[in-house]
Amino acid sequence: MSAADLLYSDTEEALRDSVRQLLADRCPPELVVRAYDVPPQDFSELWRRLAADLGVAGLLVPESLDGAGASAREAAVVMEEIGRAVAPVPFLSSAVLATVALLRSGETDTIAGLAGGAVTAALVVPLSTAPGDPVTGVRNGADGLTGRVTSVAGAREADVLVVPVAGPDGVELHTVARDAAGVEISPFLTFDMTRPLADVQFSGAASSRVGNGPAEAALAEALQTAAALLASEQLGIARWCLDTTLAYTKERKQFGRAIGSYQAIKHRLADLWFEVGAATAAARYAADTCARGDADAAIAAALAQAYCSGVAVHAAEECVQLHGGIGMTWEYPAHLYLKRAKSDQLALGTAYRHRARLAALVNLPVT
């Protein structure tokens, strides 16, 4: 195996610049907060710009299937910028979870649409599902698919649902059109409305099976890849919170002094700076090992999730607190980052679950 490379390449930095510029122009905080309106803001045009104009939807898709032929490293850069802007786009649910599951199952028809941004998909599993968790799937009867799956990310925005189905030889993957008869999608109010969740009910829905063999390996890879890349989104959240808080403490004055000059504030920011630096190394290592198919990829993903999720929450909490009164207001975007950080902390397994998985992967005995 080649050595890990945690540095960003010129290509990755160019991709970052493009994504950051587009999100700055089309996804300012005053627009993001409208995800909490009733009815919520429609962000489909923003996703089309990212997916089609910049080609981020096809980053993980091979060029032979009309994708970009990139890797998890480039996808991680996009996830960082999505976290930095708390962008309400289905990149994780469609371009990572659903795309990787379909690719590893040998599906090609839907993949071409996903790569070009014309189609959006969602993997119908609870967002809380961690790598290594069993996925039982819905039932497939004579009349079609039957069953209910709760807390699915991206289902409301998806054109195609990628559904794990319990088969006689194990879990199968099926695709179902979102608007097909027998499919009911019920969005509900969540703590973080920038990544909306929905319950999906199947009542005799017609489906098409993907591939011929069991899908457990495809689902496991999709969940592990998503967990590795989610760490980069958490890193993007933490970096924005640190940079914004640092700038604010240099400007905000009390008793004639910038609050950042007080020793207690310096200590808090120094501790946070160290945590964000460590999270950078963990997230980059997870993305790099995932991209190379390294034997340590599962360990790196578990390590990154066990650490980065807590750092993102801590950074967001410090951002709210050190901004004082303004940090508590609806108009200031700090609350958006705290909500996304807390939501991410529960997505794809909690830190406790990942620490337990990490212990098993490195043969650390439980005492």
Q: What is the per-residue pLDDT for 146?
A: 95
For residues 195 and 114, what is the distance between their CA atoms, to the nearest angstrom?
A: 19
Would the pLDDT of 366 be above 70?
no
Bridge-based pairing of strands 160-167 and 121-123 is parallel
The strand order across the sheet containing 208-210 reads 121-123, 160-167, 170-177, 208-210
Residue 1: pLDDT band (50, 70, 90) is low
Average pLDDT over residues 191-197: 95
Residue 329: pLDDT band (50, 70, 90) is very high
Q: Which of 51-55, 80-84, 257-261 is least confident?
A: 257-261
Q: What is the per-residue pLDDT for 367?
A: 62
Q: What is the per-residue pLDDT for 169?
A: 85
Residue written as token pair 């819905």: 138
* Model confidence, pTM: 0.95
pLDDT digits (tens, 9 = 90+) for 127-153: 999 998 989 889 998 899 999 999 999
pLDDT digits (tens, 9 = 90+) for 27-44: 999 999 999 998 889 999
For residues 251 and 200, what is the distance between their CA atoms, to the nearest angstrom?
A: 48
Q: How open is the CA angle 100-106-107, to the nearest 5 degrees?
A: 80
Pair 152, 88: CB distance under 8 Å: no
pLDDT digits (tens, 9 = 90+) for 72-105: 999 999 999 999 999 999 999 999 999 999 999 9
Which residue, among 100, 174, 108, 178, has the nearest Cα to 137 in the 3D structure?
A: 174
Q: What is the per-residue pLDDT for 322?
A: 93
Q: What is the per-residue pLDDT for 316?
A: 97
Average pLDDT over residues 260-289: 94
Average pLDDT over residues 222-237: 98
Strongest mean pLDDT among 22-26, 257-261, 263-267: 22-26
Indicate the fold that domain 10-120 takes in CATH: Butyryl-Coa Dehydrogenase, subunit A; domain 1 (1.10.540)
Average pLDDT, the chain: 94
Indicate the fold that domain 217-362 takes in CATH: Butyryl-CoA Dehydrogenase, subunit A; domain 3 (1.20.140)
Indicate the fold that domain 122-215 takes in CATH: Butyryl-CoA Dehydrogenase, subunit A; domain 2 (2.40.110)
Instruction: Write down the domain spans for the chain.
Output: 10-120, 122-215, 217-362
Q: What percent of the chain has pLDDT over 70?
A: 99
Q: What is the per-residue pLDDT for 251?
A: 86
- Give 200's strand partners: 149, 185
For residues 97 and 103, what is the distance between their CA atoms, to the nearest angstrom?
A: 10
Q: What percent of the chain has pLDDT over 90?
A: 83
Q: What are phi and psi of 60, to 5 degrees?
A: -90, 0
